[in-house]
Structure 1
Amino acid sequence: MTIAAPAPLYDAVLFDLDGTLVDPAGGITGGIEHALRAMDLPVPDASVLEGMIGPKLADALANRAGVPLPLVPETIAAYRSWYRSTGMAMSKVYPGIAELLAELRASGIRLGVATQKPEPLAKTLLAHHGLDAAFDVIRGANEDETLMPGDAGYRQGKQEIIAAALAELAADNAVMVGDRHQDVNGATANGLSCIGVSWGFAVEGELAEAGAAAVVDSTTELARHLAPAAREAANGTV
């Protein structure tokens, strides 16, 4: 008798990018430090710089690094120039991510990315690592990071970015995967559960406190939450 494999738990999965799919490996914190020095501004300590990975960059510069609002656009420009020329090449795909994405797609699950990184840059980074073709939807912030509320194309934060990705996925039962509380909050605001990953940049207890449905320590564990059939098939147990 053949026993049917368990169906995937979700028909679509949205992933955060930095800290979830890709390890920036200093490419973000180094870029922020470079930009602040280029602007002759104080550089905060390493813990503050790491805490700036995840939130919208303009907000992080103003609220965490103390950059005066009139200098934020020029500081962002300095950061983006360095990131494109140097920082992107420093990044690495987390172990097991490429295999996980292939398994999920083979299970018929639609995949998307919802990131605070500017959308064109997110697509460039994913293409750099050969991951772009795995996703049905890639949504991020507007390329013009100087846009303000009320401007056309402005997306304030993770809630709006997740909403934009969901609108294209047209999924009945989607879930978010991310490494910071912004991912959990943005998912919750859109009626989604969020599975947190411990290999990113959240501080101890951050994801659980934000209300993550689960916090996982490996892509193998994440696969069990997302698509048990895919993981069991990969292990030869179906």
Structure 2
Amino acid sequence: MYKAVIFDLDGTLLDTSAGVLKSVDYTIDKMGYSPLENEVKRTFIGPPIKKSLMKQYGLSEEEADRATEIFRDRYKNHDLFLAKAYDGIYDLLKALRANGYKIGVATLKREDYAIEILEHFNIAEHCDVICGSDFASKMTKKDVLMRCESLMGLAFSKEGILIGDTTSDAVGAFEAGVDFMAVTFGFGFRTDGDVKEHPHVFTADTVEDIRAFFGI
């Protein structure tokens, strides 16, 4: 049915929470903002950092840009590689390739960061295409996903499936006309019940569940 499997990055391929949260704390302290509860800070993982900062602190565009640059400098130079691959991810990627699937990554993480971290963790070598957000964080998940599909040479949206862990992933897939698989081991969805309001073909609680879905 599917020719390509497209993964979100944060919370799907890699647990990037340690690095992102450390950089969020640094940015909040540097800018003199009030501290946030841990559960609120976890919502910063995945979406563009600028949008999260504007949402939580009601920042102007100019101030959000300044805070975003502080975050990016800290994250890129100190915290980018504070991450780990989820158990079974490497075996899953190898099995997908062995069974003829193309593999893509569609993330709202800035594209240069996405490529760098995936190369560091030896995931990039399993991927045909890696697509991330633009420097100005203006791209939506739909934008990134459709670009990824185009670069992978998919003729129809239904030739690919997006695997992700958040509402942003589910909405992006729906808007792009792409089937969606939710995972509950990341940062957004916790149970199948969390996903029920979004169109999806499957909910995976573990990486092994993803393998079972594809029969590999």
TM-score (norm 1): 0.84
Please name the residue that 1:208 is paired with: 196
Measured in 1, the distance between the counterparts of 2:160 and 2:108 equals 19
Structure 1 position 128 matched with structure 2 position 128: no
Measured in 2, the distance between the counterparts of 1:82 and 1:94 equals 24
Measured in 1, the distance between the counterparts of 2:196 and 2:90 equals 26
Distance 1:58 1:116, change over 3 A: same
Aligned residue for 2:18, secondary structure, equals: coil
Report the Cα offset of residue 206 of structure 1. Answer: 3.1
After TM superposition, the structure 1 = structure 2 runs for residues 38-187 of structure 1, keeping only pairs within 5 Å, are: 38-145=30-137, 154-155=138-139, 157-171=140-154, 172=156, 173-187=159-173
Measured in 1, the distance between the counterparts of 2:4 and 2:104 equals 8
Distance 1:119 1:75, change over 3 A: same
* Count of equivalent residues: 211
Report the Cα offset of residue 203 of structure 1. Answer: 4.4
Q: Which moved more, 1:45-54 or 1:106-115?
A: 45-54
For residue 65 of structure 2, what is the amino acid of its counterpart? P
Match of 1:21 among 8, 13, 32: 13
For residue 195 of structure 1, what is the amino acid of its counterpart? M
Runs of 5+ consecutive residues of structure 1 not aligned to the other structure: 1-8, 146-153, 232-238
Measured in 1, the distance between the counterparts of 2:65 and 2:146 equals 26
Aligned residue for 2:5, secondary structure, equals: strand
Runs of 5+ consecutive residues of structure 2 not aligned to the other structure: none
Once the two structures are superposed, residues 175-220 of structure 1 have per-residue CA deviations (whole angstroms, 9 ceiling, x without a partner) of 0000001111111111111101111111444323222222111111
1:52–1:60 Cα contact (<8 Å) kept:
yes
Report the Cα offset of residue 80 of structure 1. Answer: 1.2
1:180–1:206 Cα contact (<8 Å) kept:
no
Please name the residue that 1:5 is paired with: none
Q: Which moved more, 1:200-209 or 1:26-35?
A: 200-209
Percent of aligned pairs with the same amino acid:
27
The runs of at least 4 aligned residues of structure 1 exceeding 6 Å deviation read none
